[in-house]
């Protein structure tokens, strides 16, 4: 029996919320069962006993795990994620995230969107022309860039571009005059700083999406209903567009949803090479510095992003794939 969409929607939403709750709980206990004592991390060794006591109270470590857990959940619901203890000492985690999240959304978010569109088009065209020259060239392109280490490509690009365009920015997220610019100037400024890292980032994901689309479409083209579509008089691109692509998109949608994890965690190597302050670098920095409040928040953010993307993918699949309704 076919499912009702709203029923399906709320059911999946409930699953997402339950998962978020479990991950929140896991996050809480994860940092309390690790080898290093959370008290050793949060409370400096040089502090005297009175200060240690004050800090224990400040972080709530003087209370039972259950009380800490309830406080933790309450804080999360109110958007209180604590203060950074090493990455940006004393700053509210929300303040830190407010700086890094937009940078990542701009870089990796747009990079992914670009990669999806270009990757799907390239995958479709190479599958459609499979075995021909265009397919051979395209497939070579996918394989080379899929296998090439991203950091290597990024470094080579950094050196080439800065050599031939000496005034092109090599690092950072925006210029020092950014705050003085009008909206149009800000957009140009952002694009200028974002283009290099974004290009280095998308080249691999384009290849990945192309490979998935190509293989998926080739599979679909072997199905019997393709013969049927031709037999009933449809021709060429009409078959591709109306019959093949919608079905070939199913695994692509799933791959994109999985890939959304990258949208927030970013690409650490790219961000480091171009000194681009995104969430990937923040995660790396927080892990090295054992900044647990920041780590908790970033992990949570990434988890929610992946869950949300999967939720959207489920909704799209419901529309795209009739089998889901059954």
Partner 1 sequence: MNNLASVWGRARGVAIAAIVLSFLMVLSAVPMRPFSDAAAAGQTTLRIGMMEPIDSLNPQIGINDNAYVFYGLVYDFLISVNDDLGPKANLAESWYRVPDAVPYGSVWQYNLTHGAKWHDGEPFTAADVVFTVSYQTGVNWSTMWAYQPYTLLIDYAEAVDPHTVRIHFMNPDTGLPTVCTFGDSLMIPILPEHIWKKIPVAQGAFSYANPDPVGTGPFMCTERIYDEFLSGNRITLVRNPDYHLGPVKFDRLILEFYLEATAMVIDLQRGAIDLAALTAPSYDNLLDWLESHPSAPIGTYAGLTCTSYSIDIGTCMKYNSDPDYNTLRMDPAVMEAMALATDKEFIRDNIYMGFAEVGYSLMSPIYGGLYWEPNATERYDYSIEEANLILDAAGYTVDSDGIRRCAPDNPYKGFKDRLELKILVEIELPEDVATAKFLKDEWREIGIDLEVDLVDAGTWNNVVYGGNYDLCISYWSGDPDPNYIIYTQTQKALEGWSENWYYSEEYDENYTKSVLELSIASRIQYVKNCEKHTYEDKAWIVTVYPYGCYGWREDHFTGWGDWGLDPGRQLANFWSANQLFFDLEPISTNEPPSVLFDLAAGVNGTAVQVTAWAWDPEGEAMTYYLDYGDGTNLTGDIPEDGELSLSHTYTRATTFMMNLTVSDPTTGVSTESYAVIVEDGTNVPPSNIRIRPSDMSKLWADEEMDYLVTAKDVDGDPLSVDVCWDDGSDNYSVGLSSTSSIQTSEVAHTYGMGEFAINVTVDDGTYEVTLWFVLSVSDEKPAGTNWLIIVVAGGAVAAAAVVGLMLWKRRGAKEEEDVRLP
Within 8 A by CB and 6+ apart from 2, the residues are: 325, 326
Minimum separation from the CB atom of position 142 to partner 1 (A): 20
Token pair 């993307």 is at which residue?
Answer: 309
How far is 303 from 318, CA to CA, in rounded Å?
22
Comparing CA positions, the residue from 108, 309, 264 lying closest to residue 317 is: 309
Q: Considering only CA atoms, which of 21, 35, 28 is closest in space to residue 66? A: 28
Of 66 and 182, which has the nearer Cβ to partner 1? 182
To partner 1, the closest distance from the beta carbon of 127 in angstroms equals 10
Total Cβ atoms within 10 A of residue 172? 14
- How near is the Cβ of 18 to partner 1 at its closest, in Å? 28
Report in angstroms how near the CB of residue 246 gets to partner 1 at its nearest.
Answer: 4
How many Cβ atoms from other residues are within 10 Å of residue 190's Cβ? 19
The Cβ of residue 55 has, within 10 Å, a number of other Cβ atoms equal to: 16
Minimum distance of partner 1 from residue 133's CB (angstroms): 15
Nearer to partner 1 by C-beta: 13 or 188? 188
- Angle (deg, nearest 10), helices 110-128 and 245-265: 150
């Amino acid at each position: 029996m076919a499912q009702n969409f709203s029923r399906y929607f709320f059911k999946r939403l409930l699953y997402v919320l339950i998962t978020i709750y479990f991950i929140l709980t896991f996050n809480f206990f994860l940092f309390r069962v690790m080898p290093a004592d959370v008290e050793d991390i949060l409370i400096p060794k040089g502090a005297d006993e009175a200060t240690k006591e004050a800090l224990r109270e400040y972080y709530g470590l003087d209370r039972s795990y259950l009380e800490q857990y309830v406080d933790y959940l309450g804080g999360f619901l109110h958007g209180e994620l604590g203060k950074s203890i090493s990455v940006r000492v004393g700053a509210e985690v929300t303040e830190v995230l407010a700086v890094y999240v937009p940078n990542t959304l701009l870089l990796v978010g747009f990079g992914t969107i670009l990669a999806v569109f270009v990757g799907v088009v390239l995958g479709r065209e190479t599958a459609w022309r499979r075995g021909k020259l265009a397919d051979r060239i395209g497939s070579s392109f996918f394989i080379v860039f899929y296998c090439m280490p991203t950091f290597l490509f990024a470094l080579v690009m950094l050196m080439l571009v800065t050599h031939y365009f000496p005034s092109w920015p090599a690092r950072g997220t925006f210029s020092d005059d950014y705050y003085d610019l009008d909206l149009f100037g800000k957009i140009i400024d952002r694009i200028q700083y974002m283009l290099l890292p974004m290009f280095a980032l998308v080249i691999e994901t384009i290849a990945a999406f192309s490979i998935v689309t190509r293989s998926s479409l080739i599979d679909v083209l072997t199905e019997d209903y393709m013969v049927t579509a031709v037999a009933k008089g449809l021709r060429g691109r009409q078959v591709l567009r109306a019959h093949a692509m919608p079905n070939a998109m199913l695994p692509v949608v799933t791959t994109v949803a999985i890939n959304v994890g990258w949208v927030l965690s970013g690409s650490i190597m790219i961000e480091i090479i171009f000194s681009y302050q995104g969430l990937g670098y923040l995660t790396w920095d927080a892990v090295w510095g054992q900044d647990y409040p920041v780590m908790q928040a970033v992990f949570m953010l990434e988890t929610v992003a992946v869950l949300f993307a999967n939720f959207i993918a489920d909704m799209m699949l419901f529309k795209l794939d009739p089998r889901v309704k059954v």
